[in-house]
Structure 1
Amino acid sequence: MSSLSKLIRNENMKIYRRPRTWAMIGFLLLAIGLMSGIMKWDAGKGSQTDWRQQLTQRNDQLQQQLQGLAHPGDKEHLEDAIKLNAYYLEHDINPNRLTLWTYVNTSASLIILVTILTVIVAADMIAAEFSWGTVKLLLVGPASRTKIMAAKYIATLGYALLLLVIAFAAAFAAGGILEGFGAISEPHVTIANGVVHEGSMIANALQKYGFAVVSLLLYVTMAFMISAAFRSSSMAIAFSLLFIFLGNSLSELLRGYEWVKYLLFSNIDLTQYMEGSAPLRPEMTLSFSILMLVAYYAVFQLVAWLLFTKRDVAA
């Protein structure tokens, strides 16, 4: 077994032997259970009006609105909505019906909770060694500081992956138990350029999870950098969570300025490029945001590596 794999195993032992780790997993499962229960309860309170009648009435309203519009973009948007509703009626698809995929797609919004739980671990990985005084024991061993840092980073990403798998599996199971597994092969219906397309529900769900994983990766890497900078677990966790909670609000507040597109928080949510969404600024593109995120990721890794490998440890 290589020295890196031994270090990774050692870091995993540190993570999973702590009661806090399992408490966070339990908290994630509880959150998904509450979300599923609230969705089921809320659906039971809904109107019992026939969904076909609702869609027919909605299309009549949209047709009336369409006659009074002159802007091509607005007209195209309404025409697409009318075509989509007509497709639902023609193929007997109730777009408002709860299915197991509704639970899975909604659970993607809880990945921010996965991010927060992983950031707490990441921010503690380096800083805790200094707080406990165990960093000296690590550094006197044969492994280089680079390998030690890499092992901590890989172990943290492994924990993040575990939380993601648990979130997806729990939401899928909850949806199947509450709504049945009959909709597992149901298509994902979208419209683009006036043409209705049927896609895969599992592919759509994985796309949402995949985009959310990007923000998870960036925030975890940022937490590692902060952990290396502040040799205090509490400060590392506090600063990391502060950036998570205030970053998006800051970008929204400054969206009127062109330079806001260069901020990390303006690019970290790639779901803004999914169909039916709009980017923070009209000139932003998916390729631009990916380029910015790669640049930030490289800077975070470089700064964290420099701070951990080059700084002296007090005797």
Structure 2
Amino acid sequence: MLNFTKLVQNEGIKIFTKIGSWVMIAFIPILVIAVALLCKYANEEELTVNNVWEFLDLCLSAIPNLMDIVTLFTIIVAAGIVASEFSGGTIKLLLIRPFSRSTILLSKFTTVLLFGLGLTLLLLVTTMFTGGMFFGWGGASELHAGAAFSNAAYSWRAIGYSGIELIVMVTLAFMFSSVFRASSMAIGISLFFLLTSGQLAYVLKQFEWSKFLIFANTNLLSYVDGRPLMASMSLSFSLLMLAGYQLLFLALAWYVFAKRDVSI
């Protein structure tokens, strides 16, 4: 366990020694403040915010929303964390250490998830503090518009469902990073799927079989809003599909990484 912790720490050091990682971290609060200023001084009805919970709702459920930015940043890290070892030649130094390939791969995946969790917590803390300062701290118990539960309950659901989508999309990017030796290719393909998944799901929803595609099931918040992609779909169905894809991506990533030949 101690050795695994050291591996995770080593992967974390690799991430935080890159200037790009700090740029991502700094960009989150800057963007939150920019959204707050826009809501405060814009005369647009759809940007009207009365309290911190409405601001949090806007940041989590708008299209696009700030959780998409967190997912985007985490995908960039996930898509390069394995592939960059091969493209940079450092995989040789990593594999001569007394750790199995499975342990090395798990440490990288754990590090990516922790990075995504850290960005998510930074987003939530910054959003709550900024929203409270700009719009007040009330409104938690008020009924959410179009829902049968409070603003606070809706926001926590939005956070949870966005977190599930983050994990699934990051695992997809991590799988691409393990399959492709070039980090640029892994990042490019991952970002393509992230940016086009919603459009692909909408275009293909006329076909009944499309509900089995991963991107038809990632928008879990649609069930809370009462707007599922298809009438035949349910929250439990989407969660089951996402769990299946999650296992598939991890299995494929492990198989390719474990079987790949590396000349040392």
* CA deviation after TM superposition for structure 1 residue 248, in Å: 1.3
Change (3 A) 1:287 1:186: closer
Whether the 8 Å contact between 2:86 and 2:181 is mirrored in structure 1 is yes
Q: What per-residue deviation string (whole Å, max 9, x for no partner) do you get for residues 130-176 of structure 1?
A: 11111011101101111111111111111101111111111111111
Give the aligned partner of residue 93 of structure 1: none
2:254 to 305, 310, 314: 305
2:232 to 276, 283, 289: 283
Q: What per-residue deviation string (whole Å, max 9, x for no partner) do you get for residues 237-258 of structure 1?
A: 0000001111111110111110
Give the aligned partner of residue 166 of structure 2: 216
Give the aligned partner of residue 98 of structure 1: 50
Give the aligned partner of residue 134 of structure 2: 178
Distance (whole Å) between structure 2 residues aligned to residue 101 and residue 241 of structure 1: 30
Distance (whole Å) between structure 1 residues aligned to residue 214 and residue 201 of structure 2: 9
Change (3 A) 1:279 1:134: same
Structure 1 position 188 matched with structure 2 position 143: yes
Structure 1 position 249 matched with structure 2 position 199: yes
* CA deviation after TM superposition for structure 1 residue 97, in Å: 5.3
Give the aligned partner of residue 96 of structure 2: 140
Change (3 A) 1:243 1:97: closer
Residue type matched to 1:281 in 2?
A: M
* CA deviation after TM superposition for structure 1 residue 235, in Å: 0.5
* CA deviation after TM superposition for structure 1 residue 189, in Å: 4.3
Identity of aligned residues (%): 35
Structure 1 position 236 matched with structure 2 position 181: no
Whether the 8 Å contact between 1:188 and 1:204 is mirrored in structure 2 is no
Give the aligned partner of residue 207 of structure 1: 157
Residue type matched to 2:238 in 1?
A: S
Give the aligned partner of residue 123 of structure 1: 79
Change (3 A) 1:33 1:253: same
Moved more, 295-304 or 22-31: 22-31
Residue type matched to 1:121 in 2?
A: V
Change (3 A) 1:217 1:258: same
2:223 to 249, 257, 273: 273
**RMSD (CA atoms):** 1.7
Moved more, 164-173 or 294-303: 164-173
* CA deviation after TM superposition for structure 1 residue 184, in Å: 5.5
Whether the 8 Å contact between 1:120 and 1:237 is mirrored in structure 2 is yes
Structure 1: give runs of 5+ residues left out of the alignment: 47-95
Q: Whose Rg is larger? A: 1
Distance (whole Å) between structure 2 residues aligned to residue 25 and residue 158 of structure 1: 13
Whether the 8 Å contact between 2:144 and 2:154 is mirrored in structure 1 is no
Q: What per-residue deviation string (whole Å, max 9, x for no partner) do you get for residues 78-122 of structure 1?
A: xxxxxxxxxxxxxxxxxx651111111112121011000000000
Structure 1 position 3 matched with structure 2 position 3: yes
Q: TM-score with structure 2 length normalisation?
A: 0.92
Give the aligned partner of residue 243 of structure 2: 294
Structure 1 position 152 matched with structure 2 position 104: no
Structure 2: give runs of 5+ residues left out of the alignment: none
Distance (whole Å) between structure 2 residues aligned to residue 253 and residue 97 of structure 1: 32
Moved more, 100-109 or 207-216: 100-109
